[in-house]
A and B are shown apart, each in its own frame.
Chain A
Amino acid sequence: MTHDDRLSTILATHSGRPGALLPILHDVQAAYGYVPEDCYQPIADALRLGRAEVAGVVSFYHDFRAAPAGRHVIKICRAEACQSMGGAAMMAGLEHALGMKIGQTQNGITLEAVYCLGLCACAPAAQVNGQLVGRATAEQLEALVTEVSA
């Protein structure tokens, strides 16, 4: 199902490019929302790699998803600077409000951890559907939660 024109186009775009596997995987994920397993073999063939090598790269990097994310993706920074500004409590508050735990996908929402967004001087930080949020508060995130659930 997934080995369609989109994959062929992506592979053609990166043809002959040195070290093309990561750029290909980024494009595949952008096109499909995740990296479908049945893309491994065609990618491997195009790059003259083994299927296992492609699978190994996909599983190594946190960014590449084995299954589609929710319609809404909320990333919460768990790193030290955000911890120093109450990030853990903020995360707990959000987990409570959403009725889910970090790392889960439920009701169209994916809640996941990120380790630093480079917003360490305006912590705690989060990212909601790509939009960065600094000085994030429980109230503000609750509002965003309502917004994305609506």
Chain B
Amino acid sequence: MKIWVPADAAAKACGADAVAAMIAHQAAQQGREVQIIRNGTRGMIWLEPLVEIEMDGVRMGFGPMVPGDVPGLFASPESHPKAVGPVEEIPFFARQTRLSFARCGRIDPLSLEDYAEAEGWQGLTRALELGPQAAIETVTTSGLRGRGGAGFPTGIKWKTVADAEASQKYIVCNADEGDSGSFADRMLMEGDPYCLIEGMAIAGLCVGATKGFVYIRSEYPDAIRVMEAAIARARSASYIGPALMGQGPAFDLEVRVGAGAYICGEETSLLNSLEGKRGMVRAKPPLPALEGAFGLPTVVNNVLSLGAVPWILTHGGAAYAEFGLGRSRGTIPLQIAGNVAHGGLFETGFGLSLGALINDIAGGTASGRPFKAVQVGGPLGAYHGEDDFDLDICYEAFAERGGLVGHAGFVVHDESADMMALARYAMEFCAIESCGKCTPCRIGAVRGIETLDRIARGEADAIEILQDLCEVMEKGSLCAMGGFTPYPVRSAMRLFPEEFTQLREAAE
């Protein structure tokens, strides 16, 4: 009997280890032969821990499980109170277009056999056949743009590095996923680490880099452990190392662990951190593509950008570009978080409307109270209200409406949300996490907190000062930290002006 119990950090945080232990215990007591596989998560986090049992070749789900639910699993699985039916037929799952996350939750994350059986290494094999130039063209054709938030075309970045002359080049994977509401990088690293390894190997082959770094934030101990184990196994099986797939050029990988600095998700700050320095943002130019890690040409890509690459090489750039909307091609793993009934990861082509995501997919709020606002794209993203439910999820539409898709995290708040407190938090977070290099961010964030406190005390003239401060931060900051912190602040004021003025009236 095969039983899957996710070892994803979210599943573990909801008690998956205790459930797995109970399954092993019960099976031993009853003398049943059970194979427990610790898979990644399917991304339906509200069902975690989601246990799966193979019955007549179909994987049936049970969740959210607690250890007390385990005995019933063996007795009469069909009538188990936590039975959710065939996992892949759950509407949340069935409605997705899973390309990058096709394997996540299905396979044993560290099994090289499972990976190879599920299209693993086919993208790298194809890239080796095509050669660097044609492989880069495939990525360019796919229309893939940087999934970390900036949306820069991946193929163009790779070509810039490929064309640079240097004795050593690097691939750096940005796995410093610090945005609240985002967990797709973590999910992929924990659930399908070889996918990221393959994507990085393809990037290395394409640009002529023989060394890669995965920079993972220290808040992700499970992802660090899984990636390190996967790299070691891929190396011993000769998929990476002195010769890619045993025949290509050299490419090896190393995990580097961050140290709790949000700013290191910014690529130049990440590079400084990688070099052992303070995570201070660098002015651009020079572009990291030309002078990146240790001053050498470097591809810096997000986990999700690199994770999309194996599929693209396997199925072709045109096949990937068939999904999407406008200039946002392919699929995007939407991360539904916060106060939602159905939180989790939903991979789909660009173009789903914000309203459909929140009402249909996420099933409204978890509290059952009316929806108030959703923050899209992390702590630097804007708040959107119901008026924006017509927005199609793609880079251009959100930019036009004064927001951003960013890393595609959606944090939903119900009517109890205190927008003044959230705006203040945005400034506070910027003050805590600013690298301190540029004045608008370093000083502006502190002044922002003070000015919001003045507004809260009923000082009417402070609203104009805050608007002015936001403009200075947006236009004058060196990077997105100070530059986008005004997004949540101004959008909160625009959407709910009464919350920033009624306090004044109350004070009077």
Measuring CB to CB, which residues of chain A are less than 8 angstroms from any residue of chain B?
18-23, 25-26, 47, 53, 56-57, 60-64, 77-85, 114-123, 125, 130, 132-135
Contacts and interface: CB of A to CB of B under 8 A. Distances in A.
Interface residues of B, number: 59
A85 B182 CA distance: 16
B183 A115 contact: no
Interface string B205-233: 00000000000001111000000000000
B276 interface: yes
Interface in B94-115: none
B375 interface: yes
Interface centre among B294, B337, B343, B375 (most CB of A within 10 A): B337
7 contacts: A20-B276, A26-B257, A61-B260, A61-B261, A115-B432, A119-B10, A130-B221
Given A21-B276, A63-B259, A80-B422, A134 B13 contact: yes
A134 B257 CA distance: 23
Interface of B: 9-10, 12-14, 45-46, 48, 177-183, 186, 218-221, 256-262, 273-279, 294, 335-340, 343-345, 366, 375, 379, 409, 411-414, 417, 422, 425, 429, 432-433, 435
A81 B10 contact: no
Contact of B279 (A20, A61, A122): A61
Contacts of B256: 19, 22-23
Contacts of A21: 276-277
Given A79-B180, A115-B262, A119-B183, A56 B429 contact: no
A20 B254 CA distance: 12
A26 B276 CA distance: 12
A120 B218 CA distance: 17
B154 to A, nearest CB: 24
Contacts of B48: 122, 134
Nearest to A121: B343
A89 B433 CA distance: 23
B337 A22 contact: no
Contacts of A132: 9, 12-13
Contacts of A53: 277
A63 B224 CA distance: 16
Interface centre among B177, B275, B336 (most CB of A within 10 A): B275
A127 B390 CA distance: 38
A115 B178 contact: yes
Interface centre among B260, B261, B276, B278 (most CB of A within 10 A): B276
B275 A120 contact: no
Nearest to B436: A60
Given A56-B278, A84-B411, A116-B219, A121 B183 contact: yes
Given A19-B275, A23-B257, A25-B259, A84 B13 contact: no
B338 A80 contact: yes
A85 B186 CA distance: 21
Contacts of A56: 278
Interface pairs A-B: 6 shortest CB-CB? A121-B343, A21-B276, A134-B13, A79-B180, A120-B337, A61-B259
Interface centre among A20, A82, A119 (most CB of B within 10 A): A119
Given A23-B257, A62-B261, A121 B336 contact: yes
A91 to B, nearest CB: 13
Contacts of B337: 81, 120-121, 123
Nearest to B261: A61
A84 to B, nearest CB: 4
A118 to B, nearest CB: 4
Contact of B179 (A78, A116, A135): A116
B276 A19 contact: yes
B178 A60 contact: no
B45 A122 contact: yes
A80 B294 contact: no
Contacts of B46: 121-122
Contacts of A60: 261, 278-279, 435
A47 B181 CA distance: 38
Contacts of A64: 259
B411 A80 contact: yes
A49 to B, nearest CB: 8
Contacts of A82: 180
A109 B279 CA distance: 29
Nearest to B293: A19
Nearest to A134: B13
B411 A118 contact: no
Contacts of A26: 218, 257, 259
Nearest to B263: A60
Given A57-B276, A82-B180, A84-B412, A121 B10 contact: yes
Given A56-B278, A132-B13, A120 B259 contact: no
Nearest to A75: B219
A63 B345 CA distance: 28
B109 to A, nearest CB: 16
Contact of B9 (A63, A81, A118): A118
B178 A121 contact: no
Contacts of A62: 259-261
Contact of B344 (A25, A117, A118, A121): A121
B338 A123 contact: yes
